[in-house]
Amino acid sequence: KQAFTNLSLLLTNRDYWFISVATFVRYGTFAAFQALWAGPFLIEVMGYSAIRTGNLILLMNVGFIIGCPLLGTLSDRVFKTRKGLIVFCLLLMGTIFLVLNALSPTTSLFVVAPIFFAFGLTASGGMLMYPHIKDLMPQEMPGAAMTGINFFNMLGPAVFLQGLGILMQHLYPEASRGPAAFDAAFLVCMVCLAGSALLYLFTAGKQLN
């Protein structure tokens, strides 16, 4: 009976749904780019070699790895809040997608590399959503709360990986991996991230001790 009560409490909690939407979009867009679309973009649009492309994707993952403990430390010890950092990271991710639209084969690698590192760094801000929902729910149900948002976290890549490809193929059937197709896909990611950041502003923000 208690389990059903906890589930009902979770599913009727506005913060749970807003955080779930944000983690769906955040990890969906990141995984779609990192696992699939970054390679074709760098090779076919930017004209990079496979080795340079692999190094840039590696740099993005290094940013993610560094960002997890860094943002955790900032939220716990410096800013004493998770909500503000999460919103900032969502907005910055959206901005980076917009910047990707402005890149061209003539853009210096010294510009592109920091962008990819920053992308991974800001994407790691999504890890703060787990302790955030844990902070907002009763002490007896942190497992259910974090499992609940993790479902949407895993659903995001499934939707964005396929969805962006379908979108690009539909809009540009003759050049589904050309610059215009990627511009459209990145614009969709940017709008989704901006929308999720806006929703996140309406979640409760618990001040940490």
CB atoms within 10 A of CB 204: 12
Give the pLDDT of residue 209: 64
Distance of CA 188 to the CA centre of its chain: 13
Q: Taking the complete model, does pTM exceed 0.85, yes or no?
A: yes
Rounded to a whole number of angstroms, the CA Rg of the chain reads 18
Are 200 and 18 in contact by the 8 Å Cβ rule? The answer is yes
- Amino acid (1-letter code) at residue 193: L
- Per-residue confidence (pLDDT) for residue 120, from 0 to 100: 98
pLDDT value at residue 6: 74
DSSP 196: H
Buried b (16+ CB within 10 A) or exposed e, 100-139: beebeeeeeeeebeebbbbbbbbbbbbbbbbbbbbbbbee
For the chain of 209 residues, list the mean pLDDT of each consecutive stretch of 10: 74 93 97 96 97 98 97 93 95 98 96 98 96 88 88 96 96 95 98 97 83
